[in-house]
Amino acid sequence: PAASPEEPPLLLFETPVYHCNVSDSGSICLDLLREKWTSAFTVPKALEAVRLLLAHPIPDDAQRQWIAELTISHVVSKGADRRYADAAAACVRKEAARSLSEWRAQWGC
């Protein structure tokens, strides 16, 4: 942003992500990227925070509650409840397996 580093960077996922803290439109629900941002943070620190969020979801601050519920069930069952893992894997197969030419077609390149 023009006011950087006073305002957080706008980070979005282009590829759909099956995660309770990422919206259907790719926006990331992370306090560091909103009200907790300070000029002491950097873009690399923000990217690291997003990486950690992907590995450690915060169901209490979910953008998609139904995924948060599956995430909690998966964690509580120590992985025995496979609904979250199976849905996430299906999303990866569908959305992250595009070829470069498919991405170019989607982006109009």
For the annotated catalytic residues, the residue numbers are 29
The closest alpha carbon to 39, from 63, 7, 9, 12, belongs to 7
- Confirm if 11 and 46 have CB atoms less than 8 A apart: yes
Rounded (10°) angle between helices 83-95 and 65-76: 130
- Rounded to an integer, what distance in angstroms lies between the CA atom of residue 9 and that of residue 46? 8
